[in-house]
């Protein structure tokens, strides 16, 4: 049964140099038509799977940039969502936002429409690095937006930060962390840069023109991140996420728990009734498919039991709590130790995993090489 709904808003006023998500420039796009199509897609899913929205805990507006929409467009989008999905018992209703786009009228529209969590794409407090990333906001935008959000009534605010950026020094990273933590927010996310295909950074990298920090420097940046978050009473509950008590990201935890969620919008991905699916990406083709009364699915894949086990391991190990022996066996009818004992024993011997009676989790040492550890569980029994 689906626990969450992800809704993709693919419009941006500025395309960032590192972003590989499905997105287009806002200008001259059929934005209003797209918003109405979101409602039609929700309706089509309900007709095919009437119970799919019965136990929804979270809704997440992602992109692109949801706050590229005007206040009136945001209001209309949220009206459509509330008309299709029961929202009275939601644990979390979140929206991504850019600091230089989230005006007071948009904040009010989000708040009135039921949104209770804002995630700001800050990335850095260094203007030189922001320019390299293709970001258009200033530090003043960040401070003003957070102040306005609090004034409107938002107390669950996250900011995203990035490290391992081209030309980034340790001094720049520590300065960004100090400025971020001075805001005293309940949640912070911090990600190392991944150079993805079909991005400006990828083209620069292929030409040898992207000056990335060394692996050792990036590891030092991650180490400093964990230490500073701990000093500010922010508990690390996932490799890249830190929160004060009661403020973990419920929606993202659905992904790490390997539970099901509905994906809505052009290029969105979903996981319903053992089927992982992806939607058509090009906006005009997405809209035409919806207008024809068809769900805009590009690809579907029925997840095998083997794939489910693998996903449970590499997603669950992202969480600090790790993966429970009991929960694994209850979910799949298979003992985790019977299936992965050799891999687990080896990783424990290398002090990359910690195993106890409850289950397994990454050690602090293991957090630095998480992707290498996750890969071990994709190599078969």
d(CA 190, CA 199): 20
Other beta carbons within 10 angstroms of residue 259's beta carbon come to: 16
Verify that 224 and 88 share a domain, yes or no.
yes
Share of the chain above pLDDT 70, in %: 98
In a domain, 263, yes or no: no
What HEC string does 332-377 produce?
HCCCHHHHHHHHHHHHHHCCCEEECCCEEEECHHHHCCHHHHHHHC
| Res 80 pLDDT > 60 | yes
| Res 12 pLDDT > 80 | yes
CATH number reported for the structural domain that contains residue 319 in this entry: 1.10.10.920
pLDDT score of 379: 58
Q: What is the widest separation between alpha-carbon atoms in the chain? A: 58
Verify that 319 and 251 share a domain, yes or no.
no
Give the tokens for residue 33: 């038509």
CATH number reported for the structural domain that contains residue 53 in this entry: 3.20.20.70
**β-sheet bridge partners, residue 254:** none
Interaxial angle between packed helices 31-48 and 71-84, expressed in degrees from 0 to 180 and rounded to the nearest 10: 10
Q: What is the mean pLDDT of the chain?
A: 94
In a domain, 36, yes or no: yes
Share of the chain above pLDDT 90, in %: 87
**β-sheet bridge partners, residue 271:** 261, 276
Which band of pLDDT confidence, cut at 50, 70 and 90, is reported for residue 20? low
In a domain, 265, yes or no: no
In a domain, 310, yes or no: yes
Render pLDDT for 283-300 as a digit per residue (tens, 0 to 9).
Answer: 999 999 999 999 999 999
DSSP-assigned states of every residue in 214-282: PHHHHHHHHHHHHHHHHHTT-EEEETTEEE-TT---HHHHHHHTT--EEEESTT-EEEETTEEEEE--S
Verify that 153 and 83 share a domain, yes or no.
yes
Which runs of consecutive H residues, i.e. helices, occur in 123-249? 127-133, 139-152, 170-181, 200-206, 215-231
What range does the domain containing 362 cover? Answer: 306-376
How much is the average pLDDT of 171-178?
A: 98
pLDDT score of 177: 98
Verify that 250 and 311 share a domain, yes or no.
no
Verify that 238 and 327 share a domain, yes or no.
no
Which band of pLDDT confidence, cut at 50, 70 and 90, is reported for residue 196? confident
Verify that 312 and 243 share a domain, yes or no.
no
Domain total of the chain: 2
Verify that 153 and 13 share a domain, yes or no.
yes
Verify that 207 and 71 share a domain, yes or no.
yes
Closest CA to 229 of 307, 306, 174: 174
How much is the average pLDDT of 129-154?
A: 95
How much is the average pLDDT of 231-249?
A: 97
| Res 380 pLDDT > 70 | no
| Res 14 pLDDT > 90 | no
Verify that 252 and 321 share a domain, yes or no.
no
Verify that 53 and 190 share a domain, yes or no.
yes
DSSP letter (8 states) at residue 22: S
Verify that 12 and 126 share a domain, yes or no.
yes
Verify that 136 and 228 share a domain, yes or no.
yes
């Amino acid at each position: 049964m689906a626990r969450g709904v992800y809704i993709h808003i693919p419009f941006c006023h500025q395309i960032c140099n590192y972003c590989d998500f499905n997105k287009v420039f806002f200008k001259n796009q059929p934005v209003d038509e797209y918003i109405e199509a979101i409602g039609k897609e929700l309706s089509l899913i309900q007709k095919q799977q009437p119970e799919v929205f019965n136990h929804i805990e979270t809704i997440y507006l992602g992109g692109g940039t949801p706050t590229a929409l005007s206040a009136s467009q945001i209001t209309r989008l949220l009206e459509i969502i509330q008309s299709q999905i029961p929202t009275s018992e939601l644990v979390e209703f979140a929206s991504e936002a850019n600091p230089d786009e989230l005006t007071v009228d948009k904040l009010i529209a989000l708040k009135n429409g039921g949104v209770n969590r804002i995630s700001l794409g800050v990335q850095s407090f260094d203007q030189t690095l922001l320019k390299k990333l293709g970001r258009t906001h200033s530090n003043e935008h960040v401070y003003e937006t957070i102040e306005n959000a609090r004034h409107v009534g938002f107390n669950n605010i996250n900011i995203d930060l990035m490290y391992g950026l081209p030309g980034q020094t340790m001094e720049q990273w520590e300065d960004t962390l100090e400025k971020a933590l001075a805001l005293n927010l309940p949640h912070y996310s911090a990600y190392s840069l991944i150079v993805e295909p079909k991005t400006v950074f990828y083209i620069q990298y292929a030409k040898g023109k992207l000056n990335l920090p060394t692996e050792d420097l990036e590891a030092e940046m991650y180490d400093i991140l964990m230490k500073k978050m701990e000093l500010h009473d922010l508990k690390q509950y996932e490799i890249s996420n830190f929160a004060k008590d009661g403020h973990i990201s419920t929606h993202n935890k659905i992904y790490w728990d390997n539970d099901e969620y509905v994906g809505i919008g052009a290029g969105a991905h979903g996981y319903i009734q053992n089927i992982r699916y992806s939607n058509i990406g090009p906006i005009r083709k997405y809209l035409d498919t919806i207008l024809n009364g068809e769900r805009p699915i590009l690809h579907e894949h029925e997840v095998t039991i083997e794939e489910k086990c693998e996903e449970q391991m590499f997603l669950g190990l992202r969480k600090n709590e790790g993966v429970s022996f009991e929960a694994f066996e209850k979910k799949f009818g298979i003992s985790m130790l019977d299936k992965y004992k050799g891999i687990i024993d080896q990783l424990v011997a290398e002090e990359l995993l910690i195993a106890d009676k409850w289950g397994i989790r990454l050690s602090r040492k293991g957090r630095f090489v998480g992707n290498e550890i996750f890969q071990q569980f994709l190599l078969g029994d």
